Amino acid sequence: MDFSKSLGKCGFCRKTFGKTEMPKHLAECEKGRAGGSKKRFFQLFVEGRRSPEYWMALAVPASCTLRDLDDYLRKAWLECCGHLSSFEINGKKFQSDDETAGEFGEKTIDVALSKVLSPGLTFFHEYDFGSTTELKLKVISDGAGIEGAAKPVLLARNLPPEISCESCGKKAASVCTACVYRGKGWCCKECAPKHKCGYEMALPVVNSPRAGICGYTGKPR
């Protein structure tokens, strides 16, 4: 499927743009705003590695750590039951858990972005090493960002993709945790109780690459 036309909203002007146009638009839209801070920011483009219809653009202060970024990604898209996570940058692993990091000679994620990122770099994030959700991140640019921001700021994000019920074609409301791995199990409200795996296996459809995985509901726990 072609997701390059997947639509999202710019956080500055609230206008809708396609996924491929968005980085260019953000650069222009940001230029048009008066002021801007002197602080160094990275502009990041994040997407599901296997589900590129989910994407967002972030401005992250260069003084933030990978842990700050990990926290943000967990809150926005990933957190279900406190699984481990890691980044892979230039072939090096950075782990969320300090102990395992030491054990395997990997680094921890308590490292400033300014030490590990540079414009043009593509890197990866994994949440939960069992039912893993993989993200691809790209450093679009470094430059000025949002005045006063100390944590990552959302610049743009995809609109919820339209997913249809596999039985009747209406808008899907739930997805089966057993079938989602095969790209199946999407049901509307009426068809969900009739799904073969039972209603207990259903999770709500949420705007996240982790929809239907483990216990992810999109709500903070």
Q: Could you say which DSSP state residue 189 is in?
A: T
Using rule CB under 5 A, residue 1 touches Zn ion: no
Q: For Zn ion, what does the binding mask look like between residues 111 and 130, x meaning CB under 5 A?
A: --------------------
Q: For residue 57, how many other CB atoms are within 10 A of its CB?
A: 25
CB of 111 to Zn ion, least distance (A): 25
Residue 220: alpha-carbon gap to chain centroid: 15
Using rule CB under 5 A, residue 139 touches Zn ion: no
- Which range in 8-16, 40-48, 90-98, 119-127 contacts Zn ion by CB under 5 A? 8-16
Rounded to whole angstroms, how far apart are CA atoms 149 and 29?
18
CB of 92 to Zn ion, least distance (A): 26
**Which residues 13-72 are close enough to bind Zn ion by CB under 5 A?**
13, 29
Rounded to whole angstroms, how far apart are CA atoms 135 and 117?
16
Longest C-alpha distance within the chain, in Å? 57
166: left (phi over 0), alpha (psi -120 to 50) or beta: alpha
| Of positions 64, 73, 191, 203, contacts Zn ion by CB under 5 A | 191
Tell me, by CB under 5 A, how many residues bind Zn ion: 19
Q: Which residues of the shown chain bind Zn ion in the complex (CB under 5 A)?
A: 10, 12-13, 29, 80-81, 165, 167-168, 170, 176, 178-179, 185, 188, 191, 197, 214-215
